[in-house]
Chain A
Amino acid sequence: MQAKAAVNEKPVHSINNAFASKFAKSMFLAICGLFILTFIGTRMFTHIDLNLYGYMVGTIVFLGGFFYRFIAWGERPPTKIIIKKGIKLLFRKSTPKTSVEHLATYRFIWNRGIYRWTQHVLIGWGCILACCVTFPLVFGWMYFTMDDNGMYNIILFGMQILTVPADGIIANLSYNALNITAVMVIAGVCMVLYRRFKNMQARAEQKFMYDFLPLVMLILVSVTGLLLTFLNMFMHGHGQPAMSLIHQWTVIITLIYLPFGKLAHIPFRPLSVFAKNYREYYGEQSMKKCKVCETEFVSTEQSKDVVEVLGVNDIHFKTEEGYHLAELCLPCRRKYRIAQFSGFPTHEVKVKEANQNAKG
């Protein structure tokens, strides 16, 4: 009995090993990468701003959580397939267009409603722009200098990329970049909160930890960020060090929480581009014909993949006729079920399904 148990345990053990080493490897590579970038950016550590030390530690803890969560997730059979085939299909002609629509302009959210699109553009772009400014600053990849002649320099990776008049538009935009993004995020989060209190579906499904905590954190980050500016400009920096610490604390908590809550969709949404490519590419290769009505309803590859994934989960759906239920088109599959209930082969009657849309 004991011997058997040991044999059974073996595969589990080896998966655990692979998991641990994958995690360690990703973590190691990421930290090396960060180190090198910081080294270059700070010109061999000569331009480090030690006020930003907390952020550095936060980022590293975040990376730990991030890899832990996403490696476990990537081990799931359906996820593994999409990732593997998605990477293979990355260089399709349509990828740039799909990526822009899915990841930058969020056209599909527009189709869900203009209100939802607006709130997401404000939050999403607000955060992305803020990160584009904050991270390079934190790791010393970017900093600013002011010349005696009133010119303002933006320095990226030790190279002077832009010199503008210190009182010009671009300079003002860059002093205020984080204020602008903070206002965007606050406006967006307020819109989301309003919808979350009104919309019945949202009200039914939402949980504090999953849906509200990220919103609260985003608000806290933005408000404390704005307060920093306020203290600097109108209070002569009074209370600034304390506020700076509070702000740092909120950002770090948000980062660490990110892989585990709603915000986990950010690093992982690019998969929607993979999914689109996967459907387009294999759809062009060959389409699966429904075993009953011969309508082409999905790519042969996807049908095969789904059958395989279900098999891994010990779900087989074999019919008496010898096919897998996933090989029937959707209307035929529904009729096949009616046939199992009624004993009459509904799926073999060549009549289109009638009125399923509650329209009279």
Chain B
Amino acid sequence: MTKKRLYLELENCIGCRSCLAACTQCGGHEERNRNYVYDVNPLVNRQTMPLMCLHCVNPACARSCPAQAIQIHETGAVLSALVEKCIGCQNCTIACPYGIPKFDTEQNLMYKCDLCIDRTKDGIPPMCASVCPSNTLQWLTDEEIENKKQQFNLDNGKWVTSLPYLEGETNVKVNLPGILQGVTKLF
């Protein structure tokens, strides 16, 4: 089984919020979604973009957790808090550079995207990528991601899958939205 990654092509997003609905249905998510969809310029146009945990290689959330409640799975996925360990300090929500972890005060428990670990550990795409109708969220091999990189004009600075555009190295790969940069994308 070749390792696949979550790959985001932000500009494709049509704001349908299927990924939010799908996330609630993933095993053990208890009907609560762990991802976000944002209007880029809400008063002017309808462009939207999804935002989800990028599964940092050196995750700030886990580094700031006094309880070691945030474990890193062997696939690289940064898991949701262990239910018996999280002491409810909320350090992780303050530490994450993208504001991803959510906190439930009643349950005194943090929860976040776990890359649908019950699926992805067996190579099945995560819920959000499975349902995305616009190919914004994809589940690809490193080779396929490399091909994408070739396709979208290498060396023109319009590729943000990695540093220096993100805050650190991440397991999820992200592509720069061509639309907002004024370039037409050839599918």
B181 touches A343 (CB 8 A): yes
**Given A78-B65, A112-B107, A351-B39; A298-B90 close (CB under 8 Å):** yes
B149 at interface, CB cutoff 8 A: no
A66 at interface, CB cutoff 8 A: no
Interface of A is mostly: helix
B64 touches A337 (CB 8 A): no
Contacts of B180 in A (CB 8 A): 342-344
**Given A112-B83, A333-B99, A342-B177; A204-B23 close (CB under 8 Å):** no
Give Cα A114–Cα B39 distance, bound, in whole angstroms: 38
Give Cα A265–Cα B33 distance, bound, in whole angstroms: 27
How close is B43's CB to chain A, nearest CB, in angstroms? Answer: 6
**Cβ-closest chain A residue relative to B100:** A334
Give Cα A206–Cα B118 distance, bound, in whole angstroms: 10
Give Cα A344–Cα B100 distance, bound, in whole angstroms: 20
Contacts of B94 in A (CB 8 A): 298, 302-303, 306, 326
**Cβ-closest chain A residue relative to B118:** A204
Give Cα A271–Cα B181 distance, bound, in whole angstroms: 49
Give Cα A330–Cα B88 distance, bound, in whole angstroms: 17
A358 touches B21 (CB 8 A): yes
How close is A264's CB to chain B, nearest CB, in angstroms? Answer: 8
A18 at interface, CB cutoff 8 A: no
A276 at interface, CB cutoff 8 A: yes
A213 at interface, CB cutoff 8 A: no
**Cβ-closest chain B residue relative to A265:** B84
Contact mask for chain B residues 1-38; partner A; CB cutoff 8 A; 1 contact, 0 none: 00000000010000001001101100111100100111
How close is B75's CB to chain A, nearest CB, in angstroms? Answer: 12
Give Cα A326–Cα B39 distance, bound, in whole angstroms: 22
Pick from A306, A335, A344, A355: contact of B64, CB below 8 A: A306
**Cβ-closest chain A residue relative to B84:** A265
A353 touches B28 (CB 8 A): no
Contact mask for chain A residues 266-291; partner B; CB cutoff 8 A; 1 contact, 0 none: 00110110111011000000000000
Which residue, A205, A275, A303, A349, has most C-beta atoms of chain B within 10 A?
Answer: A205
6 example contacts (A-B, Cβ-Cβ < 8 A) are as follows: A108-B106, A111-B104, A205-B117, A317-B167, A341-B176, A349-B42
Residues on A facing B (Cβ under 8 Å): 73, 76, 78-79, 81-82, 102, 108-109, 111-112, 199-205, 262, 265, 268-269, 271-272, 274-276, 278-279, 298, 302-303, 305-306, 309-310, 313, 315, 317, 325-326, 328, 330-335, 337-338, 340-344, 346, 349, 351, 353-358
